[in-house]
Chains A and B, each alone.
Chain A
């Protein structure tokens, strides 16, 4: 199946995701979530596409100091 990020898929994703978690939502909730999804999802897909295989993870990073 081809990947797309159109509105109908977003609606399906949100509705199916909420239903699978047992979370109820009214029309206002869905409208807000649709708007959030439209803002967040495209850059989120870009984030997932970033090749970070060469970045060695920090083990228990101490954020008060520069990385080791």
Chain B
């Protein structure tokens, strides 16, 4: 019999609902597993067993009744303010009922811990945090991806079956790709965001699920969205591919795995692959960076910047100050690029159902030196990664990263699919089609640290 801790989200919820698993025992076992496995990963930065037990005692019979979940350090809980992975924020935060917390609580889930994250959400690797870096369960010397590093590492290591992350420039999708998970970046505005310190100003950041597979993402997303995401069967899928750096300036094994996945998806759905033109992706990436930097400048007065905590990383201190020098004219131009790309995508989505390219151009780099070797150049992982993810945040469209293979070094490779506004369900349908096509090979691959334990019976 499979250890309940090794079950996915749907299976854990079903086992609890059927009376096969006692949720109180599951909670204690989950806390014990976090204690056992987390020291090697630093994925969960805080647990609060008594609060979790109280949450379980009051949990309604919702679709996630009794299931333990990790929440990224980006939203407050009634007993804890978010820290955003940093020693200091430029805005005030306080404990409270955030949107994701309410969504989880009302679905019957139990928040069992806080997931680590890249400091201030400012990186794609997870190697910098006030709590110390999170580590990748596939290789603890590698980056787990960021900024939702801890949520992803928690699920990949099977500490919990699901976690809630946040995605402002790819921060759910990068760690999903690095850790071999499925991660959904919802259409802007569909998923619960209240309580996030940037919620009143952001036009890019969304909450999103990180799970083992698309079905689990669908279940968790239904709670975050406050509406059931109906399952369908993707058929006749028109898959758009671009001949651009995002799909071609990637390592050969990433290219091969993603091309194979696209072909498998086409065959499984009886669809077709269409080459499409999507110019100005570099300008779109820079525009998203400029917009998120201007939105994140809230509260950053000169006086405040002159008193930054010495515990902030040098990169965070420099970035917070440099942000003040970005010209307003460039931010205005970025808004025009946003409009331009939104109109281009609207036209493209009349001709294709999804657009596919690799989530990241290379598998997880070392924590000590997050550098990737691309065909065109040696690059920081941050620079290389963001160009493939920012478009969805800039324009508001949904996007998903799904496991598409393993590298020669045994590291996960992720394929990204993007769809039109509101077509989040289609992305999940397509992800499930790919899972069928490859016999669930990649979503059921486990890192050595999380090999399923079995018991007699």
Task: Check if A64 sits within 8 Å of B334, measured CB to CB.
Answer: no
Task: Check if B318 sits within 8 Å of A29, measured CB to CB.
Answer: yes
A33-53 contacts to B, CB under 8 A, are 33, 35-37, 39-40, 43-44, 46-48, 50, 52
- Is A2's beta carbon under 8 Å from chain B? no
User: In the complex, how many angstroms separate the beta carbon of B111 from the nearest chain A beta carbon?
Assistant: 27
Question: Given A13, A37, A50, A63, which contacts B395 in the complex, CB threshold below 8 Å?
Answer: A63
- In terms of DSSP, what is the predominant structure of the interface of chain B? helix
Question: Given B339, B340, B343, B422, which contacts A65 in the complex, CB threshold below 8 Å?
Answer: B422
- Is B190's beta carbon under 8 Å from chain A? yes
- Is A6's beta carbon under 8 Å from chain B? no
Task: Check if B318 sits within 8 Å of A61, measured CB to CB.
Answer: no
- Is B33's beta carbon under 8 Å from chain A? no
* Contact pattern, A 10-37, Cβ under 8 Å of B = 1, otherwise 0: 0001100110011111001111110111
Complex Cα–Cα for A29 and B339 (A): 34
**Nearest residue, chain A, Cβ from B300:** A23
* Contact pattern, B 275-316, Cβ under 8 Å of A = 1, otherwise 0: 000001011001101100000000000110110000000110
Complex Cα–Cα for A44 and B334 (A): 10
- Is B420's beta carbon under 8 Å from chain A? yes
Decide: A67 near B329, CB < 8 A? Known: A23-B306, A52-B336. Answer: no
Sample of 16 further A-B pairs with CB below 8 A, known A43-B282, A63-B396: A14-B322, A17-B325, A18-B324, A32-B317, A43-B283, A44-B327, A50-B280, A50-B337, A52-B340, A55-B339, A57-B335, A58-B342, A63-B189, A65-B396, A66-B345, A66-B421
- Report the count of interface residues on B (CB-CB < 8 A): 48
Chain B residues positioned under 8 Å from A29 (CB to CB):
314, 317-318, 321
**Nearest residue, chain A, Cβ from B380:** A39
Task: Check if A63 sits within 8 Å of B188, measured CB to CB.
Answer: yes
User: What are 20 inter-chain pairs, A to B, with CB distance below 8 A?
Assistant: A13-B325, A17-B324, A18-B321, A23-B306, A37-B322, A40-B289, A43-B282, A43-B283, A47-B287, A47-B290, A47-B330, A47-B337, A56-B339, A61-B342, A63-B189, A63-B396, A64-B421, A64-B422, A66-B346, A66-B420
Task: Check if B318 sits within 8 Å of A32, measured CB to CB.
Answer: yes
User: In the complex, how many angstroms separate the beta carbon of A22 from the nearest chain B beta carbon?
Assistant: 4
Question: Given B203, B321, B335, which contacts A25 in the complex, CB threshold below 8 Å?
Answer: B321
Question: Given B305, B324, B333, B420, which contacts A47 in the complex, CB threshold below 8 Å?
Answer: B333
**Nearest residue, chain A, Cβ from B343:** A67
* Contact surface of A with B, Cβ cutoff 8 Å: 13-14, 17-18, 21-25, 28-33, 35-37, 39-40, 43-44, 46-48, 50, 52, 55-58, 61, 63-67
Question: Given A24, A35, A43, A57, which contacts B286 in the complex, CB threshold below 8 Å?
Answer: A43
- Is B383's beta carbon under 8 Å from chain A? yes
Task: Check if A48 sits within 8 Å of B333, measured CB to CB.
Answer: yes
B327-362 contacts to A, CB under 8 A, are 327, 329-330, 333-340, 342-343, 345-346, 349
- Is B148's beta carbon under 8 Å from chain A? no
Complex Cα–Cα for A13 and B338 (A): 28
- Is B90's beta carbon under 8 Å from chain A? no
Question: Given A23, A30, A65, which contacts B421 in the complex, CB threshold below 8 Å?
Answer: A65
Task: Check if A33 sits within 8 Å of B322, measured CB to CB.
Answer: yes
Interface centre among B203, B349, B395, B396 (most CB of A within 10 A): B396
Task: Check if B321 sits within 8 Å of A33, measured CB to CB.
Answer: yes
Closest 4 pairs (CB-CB, A-B): A32-B318, A63-B396, A64-B189, A63-B188
Chain B residues positioned under 8 Å from A32 (CB to CB):
314-315, 317-319, 322
Chain B residues positioned under 8 Å from A13 (CB to CB):
325
Interface centre among A13, A30, A31, A43 (most CB of B within 10 A): A43
Chain B residues positioned under 8 Å from A24 (CB to CB):
305-306
Task: Check if A64 sits within 8 Å of B190, measured CB to CB.
Answer: yes
Chain A residues positioned under 8 Å from B422 (CB to CB):
64-65
Task: Check if B302 sits within 8 Å of A21, measured CB to CB.
Answer: yes
Complex Cα–Cα for A21 and B321 (A): 10
- Is B154's beta carbon under 8 Å from chain A? no
User: In the complex, how many angstroms separate the beta carbon of B289 from the nearest chain A beta carbon?
Assistant: 8
**Nearest residue, chain A, Cβ from B304:** A23
Chain A residues positioned under 8 Å from B396 (CB to CB):
63-65
- Is B187's beta carbon under 8 Å from chain A? yes
Complex Cα–Cα for A67 and B200 (A): 22
User: In the complex, how many angstroms separate the beta carbon of B194 from the nearest chain A beta carbon?
Assistant: 15
Complex Cα–Cα for A44 and B383 (A): 15
Task: Check if B342 sits within 8 Å of A67, measured CB to CB.
Answer: yes
Complex Cα–Cα for A28 and B211 (A): 39
Question: Given A14, A31, A66, which contacts B325 in the complex, CB threshold below 8 Å?
Answer: A14
Complex Cα–Cα for A57 and B337 (A): 10
